[in-house]
Structure 1
């Protein structure tokens, strides 16, 4: 039982901490509401869980051998984060009922995880810490624990954004909030470029 608690604690620490996926969830919750941001939350959770399982099955070993692919993923991640930051910075801040169904898509949420070095680090570290022996049953149990905790963690950021939405009803306030989120995303991207 203590192994599963350790897995859960690791998953919570990695999933709830600030990062690009959570910043987008917060922003989507504030901009489009919680319901519309659940597509992003679901995509990010399923995308990460798939990444975790594939890393556990040996994907990381392939990337170690193909350094060019690793660099391409890193640069793609930086480009995607800068694109999302640009979209946030350009947003006019006006909320309308017609826009309530829009927001980051399921595929954008999944892609953010695959292009997010934090997700790769969490996958590799988690596999090394809990499934180093390659036990597939243990890998699937870890993935299930991580799935639940990741969904709740990213969802809590979207919920926090939904709470902030009430206080950001004026376009000027929403613009300021979105630009702040854009700066955080761009800073994440430049940090990843610098540390690559």
Structure 2
């Protein structure tokens, strides 16, 4: 296995904007880094569970991959559009508006996030299965991927915390841009 290609693939998939990262940024913007970290922990655990499922059921998933992808596209895109609507309508003056940024919602988001599901379905067969045949090496590799994913999520929390004053100053514009970014990601699932 080419370690450099593996790490680059993992970093691009986890650090680039996607539904989870946009929700993390929006959560930091509206509720602070502490609340965003709860969501991030859930997202990280969900990400890990998807990787483990992919590793154990890789051959079964490949047989049904087209059907799974279509279902995920429909559910994931709909959920992402719903989230974009919620982000656009957020009002920082009302602290009870968005209570959805919890460990549980971060966990569940990973199963409805086409970017994460497709990553989990591709990284295992493309990089790990051809190289590692022992459970120990597969487990270590999955832990490395989870670590990279957590660092990607954490980067978005830190970005939101660093630029929080700017984000609050331009609240409505930021909400609209985040909502449009998430809606764009939902539409791109189909293209």
Normalised TM-score (structure 2): 0.85
CA distance in structure 2 between the aligned counterparts of 1:66 and 1:159, rounded to whole angstroms? 35
Q: Secondary structure, in 3 states, of the residue corresponding to 1:92?
A: coil
CA distance in structure 2 between the aligned counterparts of 1:64 and 1:50, rounded to whole angstroms? 20
Matched, 1:105 2:105: no
Query: Per-residue displacement from partner, 1:35-68 (whole Å, max 9, x unpaired)?
Result: 1100111111111111011111115624633754
CA distance in structure 2 between the aligned counterparts of 1:88 and 1:24, rounded to whole angstroms? 8
Q: Which runs of 4+ in 1 moved over 4 A?
A: 2-7, 66-69
Native 8 Å contact 1:37 1:103 kept in 2: no
CA distance in structure 1 between the aligned counterparts of 2:168 and 2:19, rounded to whole angstroms? 24
Match of 1:125 among 100, 122, 133: 122
Q: Secondary structure, in 3 states, of the residue corresponding to 2:73?
A: helix
Matches within 5 A, 1:28-107: 28-59=27-58, 61-62=60-61, 64-65=63-64, 67-94=66-93, 102=99, 104-107=101-104
Query: Per-residue displacement from partner, 1:139-166 (whole Å, max 9, x unpaired)?
Result: 2111111122211111110111122212
CA distance in structure 1 between the aligned counterparts of 2:137 and 2:6, rounded to whole angstroms? 11
Unaligned runs of 5+ in 2: none
Normalised TM-score (structure 1): 0.83
Native 8 Å contact 1:30 1:158 kept in 2: no
Number of positions where the alignment pairs a residue of Structure 1 with one of Structure 2 = 189
Native 8 Å contact 1:23 1:181 kept in 2: yes
CA distance in structure 2 between the aligned counterparts of 1:163 and 1:15, rounded to whole angstroms? 20
Q: Secondary structure, in 3 states, of the residue corresponding to 2:101?
A: coil
Paired residue for 2:155?
Answer: 156
CA distance in structure 2 between the aligned counterparts of 1:60 and 1:185, rounded to whole angstroms? 31
Unaligned runs of 5+ in 1: none
Paired residue for 1:16?
Answer: 15
Quick check: 26-35 or 67-76, which moved more? 67-76
Match of 2:178 among 178, 181, 187: 181
Q: CA deviation at 1:77?
A: 0.6
